[in-house]
Structure 1
Amino acid sequence: MSEPLTPDLPEDEALAAEHALGVLTAAERAAAELRMARDPAFAAHVDAWRERLAPMLAALPSVSAPVGLWPRIERALPANDNAGASVKLWRGLAMGGISVAAASLVAVIVLAVRPPQVVTPPQPDFAQLLNARLDTSGGQHLFVAAYDPVRKKLIVTSLVTPGADPAHVHELWLIPADGKARSLGLIEPGTSKTLPVPAGLSALAKEGASIAVSVEPPGGSKADGPSGPVAAIGKLARI
């Protein structure tokens, strides 16, 4: 059988997809963002991939913040230190017999000169994501995968040109430390997909486990593992 996976996507397109998915290293991301500022065409590629990935990210359920997180943040804000000082000031003014009007004037002055306090809501912890670049044996980069162990979701982006091999499908596999492949479903060429990882497999999706893609007949493998050639494979790792 002829080689079914020869992506026609340029290197710029693949880099834009990796940037939009958030799987670049810190140095690679900095270089990509510098290029976006200088190269409008590359920036347009990144925006296009972000738009393509938006439905996938919207499908991920939200995760509630740990109990007591916001009170700890509020106590750590400088504004609360100022608030405590203001309470002491008011009490001192009252004890000293200062008039209510004078105290109000002092409060207005304090509020006027106090710099605004900006409170940023908690952001998703992307550091916990496990990422994998799936390459062929010849080093061709065909897929990008990211696993969220909290939501137990695998996000996969195919960089394969749609229609390259209409007679076959691409099946995703999780290969943990025991070496046995577990099917995670199918992915269409040139698309992004969010796949729920079953509870029985989520414990196996750890750093060092492999994600692979095999070329299968329509409907996927009927065997207990890949029945066709493994086209691309990569290991889950932290950025």
Structure 2
Amino acid sequence: MTDATAHDVDRALAGEYVMGLLSFDERRSIQARLRQEPAFAEEVDTWEAYFAGLNEDYGTIHPSRQSKARIDARLFAAPKRKSRWWVPISLVTAVLAMAVIIGFFMPNLGDAPHLAAQLGSDESNYSFSVSVGDEGDVLDIALTSGDVVPDRTFELWLIPADGTPRSLGTFNQSERLSTATIQEGALLAVSLEPVGGSQTGAPTGPVLATGVLDDA
């Protein structure tokens, strides 16, 4: 294979990765290459910048008072044990609403989602749509407003009742993540992390958005 042909293949592969057309195992392989091959990571950044304009058609949805109260009750009840991480009150303004399904970035979703959420915050211009299928073990997430940051990645976290976050995986524009069964009422958060994700088991970068899964 010539260098020119290899470059064309990598460029097409980077585009398929950004558009969410690859399988779970293929995406894992691509994420490993992103950490090891700067030239390939640059191809992915180029595609992400090219498609970023599609997010401009989707506005920010502000939460109702009931949604805010529900999130506060989950986050700020008396903890069962000391938590290693906390979510600032000002960040917990995410909306419980139907997920914005972006067909271009989230293809092949099949049936309507079982659970959905729109993650957001008054302190950042980022928002993310989340949907979970009937089985509850596959989650689709997509960036709906805000910019991809070079040499950084988004990481999705599940915040259980004890307040200790558990990573559900990293993504850029969009991702389909395999998880343990996730249920209605689950509190989710997105942080900005180094490529490859947090190495500490908890968010190390700023928390960009939060929200709670509800019936779709």
TM-score of the superposed pair, with normalisation by structure 1: 0.46
- Aligned pairs (5 A) from 1:177-216: 177-188=161-172, 191-198=173-180, 202=181, 205-216=182-193
Q: Residue 154 of structure 2 is aligned with which of 153, 170, 178?
A: 170
C-alpha distance 208-185 of structure 1, shift in aligned 2 (>3 A): same
Letter in 1 for 2:161: A
Q: Report deviation, 1:51.
A: 3.8
Q: Report deviation, 1:235.
A: 0.6
* Counterpart in the other structure of 2:98: 24
Is the 1:212–1:232 contact (alpha carbons within 8 Å) kept by the matching residues of 2? yes
Letter in 2 for 1:169: T
Q: Report deviation, 1:138.
A: 3.2
Letter in 2 for 1:130: L
Report whether the alignment pairs 1:236 with 2:213: yes
For 1:116-173, what per-residue CA distance to the aligned partner results, in whole angstroms no more than 9, with x for missing partners?
A: xxxxxxxx4x4x71111110233745100012241511011112455x4213211111
* Counterpart in the other structure of 2:122: 137
Identity %: 32
Is the 1:135–1:143 contact (alpha carbons within 8 Å) kept by the matching residues of 2? yes
* Counterpart in the other structure of 2:58: 13
C-alpha distance 147-177 of structure 1, shift in aligned 2 (>3 A): farther
- Aligned pairs (5 A) from 1:123-162: 124=111, 126=112, 129-138=114-123, 140=125, 142-150=127-135, 152-160=137-145
CA distance in 2, matches of 1:50, 1:130: 17
* Counterpart in the other structure of 2:63: none
CA distance in 2, matches of 1:139, 1:230: 9
Is the 1:206–1:236 contact (alpha carbons within 8 Å) kept by the matching residues of 2? yes
Q: Residue 195 of structure 2 is aligned with which of 215, 218, 227?
A: 218
CA distance in 1, matches of 2:176, 2:119: 16
Number of residue pairs the alignment of both structures matches: 128
Aligned-residue Cα RMSD (Å) equals 3.0
CA distance in 2, matches of 1:208, 1:166: 33
Secondary structure of 2:106's aligned partner: helix
Q: Which structure has the larger Rg over C-alpha atoms?
A: 1
For 1:19-69, what per-residue CA distance to the aligned partner results, in whole angstroms no more than 9, with x for missing partners?
A: xxxx639xxx9xxxxxxxxxxxxxxxx9xx4243224x26xxxxxxxxxxx
Secondary structure of 1:50's aligned partner: coil
Report whether the alignment pairs 1:52 with 2:105: yes
Q: Report deviation, 1:182.
A: 0.7
Letter in 2 for 1:218: V
CA distance in 2, matches of 1:161, 1:168: 14
CA distance in 2, matches of 1:24, 1:151: 16
**Which sections of structure 1, spanning at least 5 residues, go unmatched?**
1-6, 16-22, 30-45, 59-123
Of Structure 1 and Structure 2, which has the larger fraction of its residues in strand? 2
CA distance in 2, matches of 1:215, 1:179: 19
Of Structure 1 and Structure 2, which has the larger fraction of its residues in helix? 1
C-alpha distance 129-169 of structure 1, shift in aligned 2 (>3 A): same
C-alpha distance 167-160 of structure 1, shift in aligned 2 (>3 A): farther
Is the 2:159–2:189 contact (alpha carbons within 8 Å) kept by the matching residues of 1? yes
Is the 2:105–2:142 contact (alpha carbons within 8 Å) kept by the matching residues of 1? no
CA distance in 1, matches of 2:59, 2:121: 15
CA distance in 1, matches of 2:137, 2:151: 31
